């Protein structure tokens, strides 16, 4: 009898094992989460196999929607899949740095994962856990372009988990360039054909022409250029974009921001000054109040067709390309010769002369994107890295990149394919091709500029923008303003330690010089 019961029980258990498939095999993740799951250790299916019941991680990220919304969304999904608890704390960009640095410096454990500007890596480095090899070996990680792998690396260690790749590039509303009436008027005024600009001089001329009248035909006044100029916003990136092609000389190695040997700040060299002078003049071609435009205003101004051109992040472009946008598939990116504006004269800091170029020299700016990492103080590092692995899996990235407000921008080689954008976002062939061409141009450029990723970067940047803001407001001449900045940079460098900054800056120079 006992043997019979045991036999029956065994059979029942065996039957259950055979006929009761595990959740991972039955759940249709694509239908449940509206994504296309791609097999791998970061996939929905594999994440579902993990059990973090009773465990909790806390994430500090940006406010909703930019980055805050995708973090919130995928954290809920991660909770459903793993049973773990994910607490998401939001903060505006201006507050993130202090919210991260105070617990870091005081040895408190508050967050398991922190989000911020990837250029803070120099300040974060001592407090972040390196990304374990098993995550570096995933298909998702190997697909990241070398430039963005470099951005996440500090002294040879991958400290930031890459899920975003940013760049500043030229974008424009295309129809006015094809308009015969515009072509005629432009030729009469400037004596040359109207064309998509390739240099900053041409950009400013086209901006001037299209400023202050209704070239859109909607009864409103439109302008030439929208840029991010607001003090203490992220205008430093726009400034860097503006000066890069005048000051980053393809024939001079060893430092764009500093001369690596002497650690002399270059922020007041004639290349920087020329860039600033032109930017001050360009205010005339921006919409009213343009001097106070932050990134949100730029997205809505250019994305809403208020101005013809812009040279900033992907977000405004992706926003303009969303299905509900009135200008979808009427915007293009990149000039005929590269991703950003170039210059026929570039300052040579070695010879202290302007080098002349037959074709415009372009210095694309691989501007900081979002950076994040797992804190060393985290007691749930495995869960935190698994969360990152899930957050940036193919399915989630492919979904998030199509939503402009999420702030997730191309960072993988597989994103450099027109089909990816045509199928995923419904872009036209022409727009997708121009976007991919720009991405590739950025990726293959050997004259790129990166952020000043050294300890105390916020001190350097706020000092820089304090001077730039004075010049933009007409309080000081550009040269005098940047001389003031250079003096402050020298003081900051001495305070932090010349050798400390030099060692850190070598990481940046490696990227600048394509080493």
By CB under 8 A, name the binding residues for other proteins: 94-95, 97-98, 101, 105, 123, 230-233, 287-292, 455-456, 458-459, 462, 466, 469-470, 472-476, 495-497, 500
C-beta of 140 vs 451, nearer to other proteins:
451
Half-sphere exposure of 75 (CA within 13 A, CB side): 20
Least Å distance, CB 333 to other proteins, is 26
Contact 453, 159 (CB under 8 A): no
CB atoms within 10 A of CB 333: 22
Estimate the crossing angle of helix 457-472 against helix 478-496, to 10 degrees: 170
- The nearest distance, CB 503 to other proteins, in angstroms, is 12
CB-wise, 63 or 496, nearer to other proteins? 496
DSSP state of 237: H
Q: Give the integer Cα–Cα distance in Å for 502 and 492.
A: 13
Closest distance to other proteins from the beta carbon of 93 (Å): 11
Name which of 410 and 455 has its Cβ closer to other proteins. 455
Least distance in Å: CB of 115 to other proteins? 17
Task: Please count the other Cβ atoms lying within 10 Å of the Cβ belonging to residue 149.
Answer: 16
The Cα 324–Cα 498 span in angstroms is: 52
Q: Determine the Cα–Cα distance for residues 284 and 223; give it in Å rounded to an integer.
A: 9
- Nearer Cβ to other proteins (230/383): 230
| CA 66/CA 408 separation, integer angstroms | 8
347/505 with CB nearer other proteins: 505
Q: How far is the CB of 150 from other proteins (least distance, A)?
A: 22
Q: Which is nearer to other proteins, 229 or 438 (CB)?
A: 229
User: Which CB sits closer to other proteins, 422 or 473?
Assistant: 473
Q: Considering the complex, what minimum distance in angstroms separates the CB of residue 233 from other proteins?
A: 7
Q: Name the residue nearer to other proteins (CB basis): 219 or 474.
A: 474
Task: Mention every residue, 6+ apart, whose C-beta is less than 8 A from residue 399.
Answer: 34, 35
Sort strands 307-312 and 223-226 into parallel, antiparallel or unpaired. parallel
Rounded Cα distance between 82 and 420, Å, is 30
Can you tell me the distance from the alpha carbon of 247 to that of 257, in angstroms, rounded to the nearest whole number?
9
How near is the Cβ of 273 to other proteins at its closest, in Å? Answer: 17
The number of helices, as runs of H, and strands, as runs of E, in the chain is 24, 16
Provide the minimum distance between the beta carbon of 504 and other proteins in the complex, in angstroms, as a whole number: 10
């Amino acid at each position: 009898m006992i043997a019979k019961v045991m036999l029956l029980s065994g059979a029942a258990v065996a039957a259950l094992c055979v006929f009761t498939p595990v959740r991972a095999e039955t759940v249709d993740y694509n239908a449940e989460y509206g994504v296309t799951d791609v097999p791998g250790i970061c996939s929905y299916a594999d994440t579902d196999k993990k059990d973090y019941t009773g465990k909790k991680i806390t994430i500090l990220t940006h406010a909703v929607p930019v980055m805050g919304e995708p973090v919130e969304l995928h954290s809920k999904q991660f909770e459903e899949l793993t049973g773990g608890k994910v607490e998401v704390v939001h903060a505006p960009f201006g507050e993130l740095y202090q919210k991260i640095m105070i617990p870091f410096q005081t040895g408190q454990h508050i967050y398991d994962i922190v989000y911020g500007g990837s250029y803070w890596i120099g300040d974060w480095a001592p407090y972040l856990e390196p990304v374990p090899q098993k995550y570096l070996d995933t298909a998702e990680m190997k697909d990241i372009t070398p430039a963005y792998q470099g951005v996440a690396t500090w002294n040879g260690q991958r400290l930031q988990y890459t899920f975003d790749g940013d760049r500043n590039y030229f974008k424009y509303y295309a129809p006015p360039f094809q308009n015969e009436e515009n072509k005629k008027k432009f030729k009469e005024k400037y004596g040359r054909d109207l064309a998509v600009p390739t240099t900053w001089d041409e950009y400013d001329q086209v901006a001037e022409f299209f400023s202050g009248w209704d070239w859109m035909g909607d009864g409103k006044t439109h302008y030439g250029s929208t840029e991010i100029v607001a003090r203490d916003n992220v205008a430093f990136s726009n400034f860097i974009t503006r000066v890069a092609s005048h000051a980053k000389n393809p024939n001079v190695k060893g430092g764009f921001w500093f001369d690596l040997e002497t650690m002399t700040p270059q922020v007041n060299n004639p290349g920087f000054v020329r860039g600033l002078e032109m930017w001050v003049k360009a205010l005339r071609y921006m919409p009213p109040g343009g001097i106070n435009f932050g990134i949100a205003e730029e997205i809505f101004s250019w994305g809403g067709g208020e101005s013809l051109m812009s040279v900033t992040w992907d977000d405004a472009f992706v926003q303009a390309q969303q299905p509900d946008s009135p200008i979808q598939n009427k915007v293009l990116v990149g000039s005929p010769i590269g991703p950003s504006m170039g210059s026929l004269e570039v300052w040579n800091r070695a010879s202290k002369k302007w080098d002349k170029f037959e074709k415009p020299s372009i210095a694309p700016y691989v501007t900081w994107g979002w950076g994040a990492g797992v804190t060393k103080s985290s007691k749930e590092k495995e869960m935190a890295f698994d969360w990152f692995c899930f957050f940036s899996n193919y399915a989630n990235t492919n979904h998030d990149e199509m939503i402009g407000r999420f702030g997730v921008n191309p960072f993988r080689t597989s994103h450099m394919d027109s089909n990816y954008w045509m199928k995923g976002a419904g872009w036209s062939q022409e727009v997708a091709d121009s976007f991919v061409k720009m991405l590739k141009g950025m990726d293959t450029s050997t004259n790129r500029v990166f952020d000043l990723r050294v300890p105390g970067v916020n001190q350097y940047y706020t000092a820089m923008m304090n001077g730039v803001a004075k010049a933009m407001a007409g309080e000081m001449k550009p040269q005098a303003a940047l001389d003031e900045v250079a003096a402050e940079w020298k003081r900051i460098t001495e305070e932090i330690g010349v050798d400390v900054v030099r060692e850190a800056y070598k990481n940046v120079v490696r990227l600048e010089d394509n080493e």
